[in-house]
Chains A and B, each alone.
Chain A
């Protein structure tokens, strides 16, 4: 039997309509808005000002702390202004707006040759530094700065690197396609990460609905010592770090702890490719593969887009916004965010743009809980969603905390499953937010 994680999980309709579509390079837009907060942690500090001319790959905002990330210009052109723009979460946040000139002039230090570079010259410390400089964050959507994950805290030991090639979100195919087209680079990237972490084992977890990727990566892995491919049963949310570790090596990260507690570090395959480019080609992270998809989209596909590109450009490239559009989601349908406008820019964390027809975009009327216990049985963290919802609704925060609301990974399996269409996760998020504040103020 195929491996998977041990608790809960659901199997939403996969709808991978853009699978197998070759990565298309999206033309550079006329103007980009590059948010200075594209990652978890402190917003970066702009190092350019209005009127500065910039090249592709030039640093435009620098990391403002350990948990923060550098940001590089995705285009060549002139800084138009630094202003608040709508981001994926619907808030207006500062962004560096650059008017693009026609030349697409890259920083000279970037190696633009397509040749695969296998030999890793840098030392572990240099690798981590390079990853930090290149502004690499988790590209699976979590956007946690990668150099932080690679810096194993004193006293802890990492013995395995796990690559996340699961792509468990329905519809999304960017990681899948990347593995098919840049598999070799991902292998070298894995080797680089293994060197940085000083481990000799790397497991690439890929769900069974991508047999071509499993086969391809498996074949490539023969040439790279220590790297193996682990086929996994299709089960959402297998891409969650804790679930993936459990699925691949059967270790469960305890409540409130990080993967390093059980000796594992997880990186997404897209991130691994970015690490390859940064370390071997000196290319910082300023573009990524984004899936543009949806039932009514004319030509769904996978596009290589520069950060800061308005998603409107992506939608146009995929055949334009369908008539019946009701909702546009940044990311996948389970964890993605509904976007307020098509002007929202692509960021490092944008894995997909999902366009939902109006008829699919509405929630059904919630009904009373019939205590069917299905939410409990699908929760991958072993929580009681129905109870967390009730407690959060009533504001009984001490019991909300006692019921381990902070362990919720916001995967949405509970709301997805509930036959009464109850907005379980909405309330659980509220509870998580409030309890989180209570805990922080208590620890002050």
Chain B
């Protein structure tokens, strides 16, 4: 025995690590990945591989040549950013646009703030919203589900349920008629509808949620607050005027509601630290999403809602404190 090691307590550690959590999230994303391959086939494969490879590569290059710091690509967070970015893109998006998206996500969304842990906004969403604004046409042409399994760029496209309803209502059509044009709720639940590559299959995303809850990677607060708020808000609107407002099931199953609530809003770095704060955050996302969907210019508002609430996180954390021991009066 040489000299004894002296260090302050505690002398043991749980063994939890950044990697374990990140790879846990990746595993949780696999069902949705499988669903996207099933629904969109080749296109989803190309988009996902490109986004993941580009995200990891950009992180590697920026750390190596610009920041000159040890590489963090093995921690898995760049893979998650790549996967989430891909899941938020149409599966017929040209490779070069995806690469730009990954560059913005990693370069601006993450690295410019100092890397993992310091970025105020969800990097994948920064990339996605940048693309949405820069390439609005490509970003809103959606391959038809199940019909394009073997095609990529030349996929036949159609509208998403959200845009069908949005456009239809704008043109004065009746909601009851419009609802007939969109896939059944059962099909939507399985992912057989137009949309971004990884957002369509609610069932796959929910499996991921259960996995993350069981492994204690995330807690229930954010996903339930987001989805609960969307359900209640759209439920009330629907009750007030069923002719004009679609109900909660429609809103929960369409667009990025599930993907956003389960995987984007729960990003550790860009969400609040206390259960109470997380609920406020989730409710905010739910409200803003519905406002944009129902009253705003875009058919979908999940990405914007999350980014807006990301901006409030420092404020929420400053004023919403955890429940202190001893506050309870006996």
Which A residues contact B (CB, under 8 angstroms)?
6-7, 10, 12-13, 90, 170, 242, 246, 250-255, 257, 262, 321, 323, 325-329, 333-341, 354, 356, 358, 360-364, 367-374, 376-377, 379-384, 386-387, 403-404, 407, 410, 412-413, 415-421, 423, 425-426, 429
B330 touches A262 (CB 8 A): yes
Q: Does B327 contact A (CB under 8 A)?
A: yes
On chain B, the residues within 8 Å of A341 by CB distance are: 4
Q: A340 contacts B6, CB within 8 Å? A: yes
B163 within 8 A of A: no
Contact of A419 with B117 at beta-carbon distance under 8 Å, contacts A361-B5, A376-B273, A381-B324 already known = no
Residue positions of B touching A, CB distance < 8 A = 1, 4-14, 16-18, 20-21, 115-118, 219, 268-275, 278, 317, 321-328, 330
Q: How far is the CA of A13 from the CA of B11 in the complex (A)?
A: 12
Q: Is the CB of B16 within 8 A of A419?
A: yes
What are the residues of chain B within 8 A of A336 when measuring CB–CB?
A: 9, 11
- In the assembly, what is the distance between CA of A386 and CA of B208, in Å? 28
The answer to whether B10 and A416 touch across the interface, beta carbons within 8 angstroms, is yes
- Across the interface, do A362 and B268 meet the contact criterion of CB distance under 8 Å? no
Chain A nearest CB: distance from B316 CB in Å? 12
If A338-B4, A341-B4 touch, whether A373 touches B18 (CB-CB below 8 Å) is: no
User: Told that A384-B321, A407-B326 touch, could you supply 4 new A-B pairs with CB distance under 8 A?
Assistant: A338-B7, A368-B116, A368-B118, A373-B278
- Identify B5's interface contact among A246, A338, A425, CB under 8 A: A338
Chain A contacts for B7, CB-based, 8 A: 327, 338, 363
Given contacts A382-B323, A404-B324, contact A425 B13 (CB under 8 A): no
CA distance A205 to B22 in the complex (A): 39
User: Taking the nearest CB of chain A, how far is it from the CB of B146, in angstroms?
Assistant: 38
B1 pairs with A321, CB closer than 8 A: yes
| Complex: A386 Cα to B268 Cα, angstroms | 13
Q: With the chains together, A338 CA to B116 CA distance in Å?
A: 33
A-B contact pairs, 28 of them (CB 8 A): A7-B323, A13-B12, A246-B325, A253-B326, A325-B4, A326-B4, A327-B4, A328-B4, A333-B12, A337-B9, A361-B5, A361-B11, A371-B271, A376-B273, A380-B325, A381-B324, A381-B325, A382-B323, A384-B321, A384-B322, A407-B325, A412-B10, A415-B13, A416-B12, A419-B21, A420-B18, A423-B8, A425-B10
Which residues on B sit within 8 Å (CB–CB) of A337?
9
Which of A321, A323, A364, A415 sits near B10, CB closer than 8 Å? Answer: A415
- Which of B11, B18, B273 is close to A386, meaning CB atoms less than 8 Å apart? B273
A410 CA / B271 CA spacing, docked (Å): 27
Q: How far is A264 from B115 in the complex, measured between Cα atoms in Å?
A: 49
**Inter-chain contact B273/A252, CB cutoff 8 Å:** no
A426–B117 touching, CB < 8 Å? no
The answer to whether A368 touches B326, judged by C-beta atoms less than 8 angstroms apart, is: no
